[in-house]
């Protein structure tokens, strides 16, 4: 496959190749140079879980404050118990 730079220096990765590699607009990419080659590869996704003492434990970062998650879950359970 052949592609080129646009006037802003951007490279278009052909749709078939993006689909084959699972690259979406949200995919973070690492660009490096190796000799006379440009290497583009997806940033590996970090697994937010680790096994500790035989249990799977979440060790990632929450995108929201955990206090608000707990409060929302409590309210949801209260509504369910009260039949609301």
Provide the residue-wise pLDDT of the chain in tens; the chain has 84 residues: 788 899 999 999 999 999 998 899 989 999 999 999 999 988 877 788 888 999 998 887 777 787 888 888 999 999 999 987
Domains of the chain: 1-45 (2.10.260.10), 49-82 (no CATH)
Q: Look up the pTM and report it.
A: 0.48
User: Can you say how many angstroms the Cα of residue 57 is from the centroid of all Cα atoms in its chain?
Assistant: 19
pLDDT score recorded for residue 1: 78
What separation in angstroms does the CA of 52 have from each of 48, 49, 55, 57, 77? 13, 9, 5, 7, 29
User: Can you say how many angstroms the Cα of residue 42 is from the centroid of all Cα atoms in its chain?
Assistant: 10
Contact 21, 12 (CB under 8 A): no
What is the Cα–Cα distance from 35 to 19, expressed in whole angstroms? 27
């Amino acid at each position: 496959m052949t592609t080129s730079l646009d006037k802003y220096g951007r490279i278009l990765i052909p749709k078939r190749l993006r689909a084959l590699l699972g690259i979406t607009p949200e995919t973070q990419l690492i660009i490096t140079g190796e000799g006379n080659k440009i290497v583009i590869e997806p940033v590996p996704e970090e697994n937010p879980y680790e096994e500790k003492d035989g249990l799977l434990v979440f060790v990632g970062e929450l995108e929201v404050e955990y206090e608000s998650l707990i409060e929302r879950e409590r309210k949801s359970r209260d509504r369910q118990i009260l039949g609301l």
